[in-house]
């Protein structure tokens, strides 16, 4: 079954892995040319792209209620990102962020075509291998590798980020794609920045402003009710 699943899904997995790698490259470039808030806002247009494309590519019905939930989530993301305060600085960076969003939307849609005969962790391994093959040349071209210094704590943190926050997280994420509609996945993706904001408050002691609270409620509410509506 393992070999059959690998053979039947390999092309889609390889292509989606390549798209993930290119997505990372454009996101890193977006951070170079604009603010983190603006780049993040551009990237999180990805769920909206999935919602709008799913009726045409996946045959999922797009209801008015789910469309409204997506719109509210976008408004909430604007409040959470702080882009109202910082402004849209760096058109080039925002453009790169939007490209990254489109690429990741394509990854989500492609994963809906993967047959269930392959396990989520197997999918993740293949996709991340191809993503790494894309990112490595980018790193060598943009960074002075010889100047990098790695202490034991940095290596441990890199291992945790690679194994837990990338490997396990991607495995759970792509495994969920098999069981729920792409539109629901898209709406739940907006929970990501909310979790990041509250973790930053707990761990980094960053201040949570009123717009962040309101935006978080809008996002979580949209994700909850968006999963309920048909």
Select the more confidently predicted residue: 82 or 125: 125
Report which listed range, 59-68, 184-193, 217-226, is most confident. Answer: 59-68
Q: pLDDT grade, residue 229 (50/70/90)?
A: low
How high does pLDDT run on average in the chain? 79
**Cβ–Cβ under 8 Å, residues 116 and 178:** yes
Closest to 30 measured CA to CA, from 113, 81, 92, 85: 92
Render pLDDT for 156-169 as a digit per residue (tens, 0 to 9): 888 888 888 777 88
The pLDDT value given to residue 99: 93
The percentage of the chain sitting over the pLDDT mark of 70, rounded to a whole number, equals 88
The pLDDT value given to residue 90: 60
Q: pLDDT grade, residue 23 (50/70/90)?
A: very high
Render pLDDT for 43-57 as a digit per residue (tens, 0 to 9): 878 888 888 888 888
Select the more confidently predicted residue: 61 or 102: 102
Q: Is the pLDDT of residue 1 over 60?
A: no
The pLDDT value given to residue 89: 60
Q: Is the pLDDT of residue 22 over 90?
A: yes
Q: pLDDT grade, residue 106 (50/70/90)?
A: very high
What is the distance of C-alpha 163 from the center of its chain?
Answer: 17
**Cβ–Cβ under 8 Å, residues 53 and 103:** no
Render pLDDT for 211-225 as a digit per residue (tens, 0 to 9): 878 888 887 787 767
Q: Is the pLDDT of residue 175 over 70?
A: yes
Q: pLDDT grade, residue 19 (50/70/90)?
A: very high
Select the more confidently predicted residue: 8 or 117: 8
3-state secondary structure of 24: helix
The pTM for the full model equals 0.78
Closest to 13 measured CA to CA, from 114, 106, 95, 89: 114
The pLDDT value given to residue 97: 85
DSSP code for 146: G
Q: How far is CA 182 from CA 22, 148, 167, 178, in A?
A: 21, 40, 21, 9
| Alpha-carbon span 60 to 167, nearest angstrom | 28
């Amino acid at each position: 079954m393992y070999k059959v699943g690998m053979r039947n899904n390999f092309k889609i997995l390889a292509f989606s892995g390549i798209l993930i790698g290119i997505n990372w490259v454009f996101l890193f470039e977006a951070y170079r040319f604009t603010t983190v808030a603006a780049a993040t806002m551009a990237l999180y247009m990805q769920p909206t792209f999935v919602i709008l494309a799913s009726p045409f590519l996946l045959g999922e019905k797009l209801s008015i209620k789910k469309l409204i939930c997506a719109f509210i989530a976008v408004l909430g993301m604007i409040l959470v990102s702080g882009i109202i305060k910082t402004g849209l600085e760096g058109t080039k960076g925002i453009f790169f962020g939007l490209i990254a969003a489109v690429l990741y939307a394509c990854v989500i849609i492609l994963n809906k075509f993967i047959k269930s005969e392959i396990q989520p962790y197997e999918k993740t391994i293949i996709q991340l291998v191809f993503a790494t093959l894309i990112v490595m040349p980018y790193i060598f071209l943009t960074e002075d590798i010889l100047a990098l210094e790695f202490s034991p704590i940095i290596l441990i943190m890199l291992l945790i980020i690679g194994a837990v926050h990338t490997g396990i997280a991607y495995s759970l994420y792509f495994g969920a794609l098999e069981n729920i509609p792409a539109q629901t996945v898209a709406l739940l993706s907006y929970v990501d920045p909310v979790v990041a904001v509250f973790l930053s408050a707990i761990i980094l002691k960053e201040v949570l402003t009123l717009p962040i609270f309101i935006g978080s409620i809008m996002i979580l509410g949209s994700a909850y009710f968006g999963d309920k509506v048909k």
